[in-house]
Amino acid sequence: EAQVTQNPRYLITVTGKKLTVTCSQNMNHEYMSWYRQDPGLGLRQIYYSMNVEVTDKGDVPEGYKVSRKEKRNFPLILESPSPNQTSLYFCASSPRTGKFTTNYGYTFGSGTRLTVV
Amino acid sequence: AQTVTQSQPEMSVQEAETVTLSCTYDTSESDYYLFWYKQPPSRQMILVIRQEAYKQQNATENRFSVNFQKAAKSFSLKISDSQLGDAAMYFCAYRYNAGNMLTFGGGTRLMVKP
């Protein structure tokens, strides 16, 4: 089954304790992204990657790191989590888009509810 | 920068009735796509319908259809014959065709009354 798998589904941690949320896709997609969802704000992009070893900042990158060493994996790292990073996080992937391709949007993982106390 | 606005934080509809969710967006691009995503309590993001900006014909998927007004930059979602399973958060989203980012509106929570 074509899917984006992210883990864990729920995570409670303390301020300052480094954590990693994993994301993997099995569709051979070039593009991968991380979003955070907060009430009234919709989803906002944290970081994205257009291919292996190519990553860039989205709208809200502060406090986050990513890496793309393999095409299928795109982990999100919080080096020193703070309470304002309490949120619902989504990983998503998409095929490359462009003038001669069909844009099907992103396929999303099932989300990670992170609470930082 | 592109922006997407959903002006209705909450809507309700009677089962079997029709409801329309509003979305407006702002962009200077001409080649883009628009999407509606559904997020049920399971929080999975489910693609409901998409619209290519270069197509004048409004997209339709079963009970879901859109009213795409390119000049007005409006992209509303109509749900016909509403069902209890339609209760969810609905997000409107924009993507420039050569870009990577989906820009989302703030969402509309739809409640369906039996």
pLDDT at B47: 92
Whole-number average pLDDT of chain B: 93
Indicate the range of A27-36, A64-73, B12-21, B93-102 predicted with least confidence: B93-102
In this structure, is the dihedral angle defined by the CA atoms of residues B65, B68, B73 and B74, taken in order, positive or negative?
negative
Q: Which residue of B has its CA nearest to A32?
A: B100
pLDDT at A89: 98
Mean per-residue pLDDT, A49-63: 93
pLDDT at A37: 96
pLDDT at B10: 97
Long-range CB contacts (within 8 A, 24+) of B39-46: B39/B88, B39/B89, B39/B90, B39/B91, B39/B107, B40/B85, B40/B87, B40/B88, B40/B89, B41/B88, B42/A110, B43/A88, B43/A110, B43/A111, B43/A113, B44/A108, B44/A110, B44/A111, B45/A90, B45/A92, B45/A108, B45/A111, B45/B91
The answer to whether residue A98 scores a pLDDT higher than 80 is no
What pLDDT digit, counting tens, does each position of B19-61 carry? 999 999 999 988 889 999 999 999 999 999 999 898 889 999 9
Task: Determine, for residues B91 and A43 on separate chains, whether the beta-carbon distance falls below 8 Å.
Answer: yes
CA distance B94 to A36: 16
The answer to whether residue A100 scores a pLDDT higher than 60 is no
Residues of A with Cβ-Cβ distance to B106 under 8 angstroms:
40-42
Beta bridge partners of B90: B38, B108
Closest CA to A105 of A35, A54, A56, A37: A35
Residues of A with Cβ-Cβ distance to B42 under 8 angstroms:
110
The answer to whether residue A102 scores a pLDDT higher than 90 is no
CA distance A101 to A108: 20
Residues of A with Cβ-Cβ distance to B91 under 8 angstroms:
42-43
The answer to whether residue B98 scores a pLDDT higher than 90 is no
Task: Determine, for residues A99 and B97 on separate chains, whether the beta-carbon distance falls below 8 Å.
Answer: yes
pLDDT at B91: 96
Mean per-residue pLDDT, A14-29: 96
On whether any CB of chain A is under 8 Å from the CB of B91, the answer is yes
The answer to whether residue A104 scores a pLDDT higher than 70 is no
Compute φ and ψ for A109, nearest 5 degrees. -75, 180
Closest CA–CA distance from residue A40 to any residue of chain B (Å): 5
Task: Give the model's confidence band at A112: pLDDT under 50 very low, under 70 low, under 90 confident, else very high.
Answer: very high
